[in-house]
Amino acid sequence: MRVSMFRFLLVLVFSVVGLTGCVTMPTTTDGAALKAKQGLLVFHVTSNADAGLSYGDYAQDSTASRQREYWIGPQGQFRFAAGEMFYVVPLDEGDYMFGKFTVGNKFAWLQSTNRFKVNANAITYIGHISVRVADNRFGLRAQDRELEMRTYLAEKYPEYFKKMGFQKAFAEFNLK
């Protein structure tokens, strides 16, 4: 009985540790020190339902990234609550792509055209993401509302906004 309880607790601990590494915190505080070779990913989300959007390193072959996400899990995931929120997220420099869009127990794979690049010491704006869910259908799109994002960053993140360059890297959300 003790061995079974120990195994259960061990599996539970590893599961919790493994799962908590996948969800990316939506915001950071203004001026917080970034790690070497890190930049900020910024976007605004409007959603009428709770949803998730996973991301990982860019791969030309989306099949390989799907296999990785299926067996190992996503490199990271953004959770969207119904409503509106701005995200300011520190990420390591690199090429990324969105992999999977999830609403409840339904999901859609995204194609590898959903690429964005984060540069060190730069703010990367990927757009205003709109999530719409109705019955058994859902949609995901990005719009360019750069002025709105610049205004938000100037007001809420003035230290970062003054010190870091600003770049746009829009991805098309092609659902499969």
Please determine, for residue 94, whether its predicted confidence score (pLDDT) is greater than 90: yes
Pick the more confident residue, 148 or 57: 148
Read off the tokens for 66. Answer: 């799907």
Q: Tens digit of pLDDT for each residue in 83-93?
A: 999 999 999 99
Q: Give this prediction's pTM.
A: 0.79
Pick the more confident residue, 41 or 10: 41
Question: Residue 45: its pLDDT value, please?
Answer: 95
What are the residue ranges spanned by the domains of the chain? 23-168
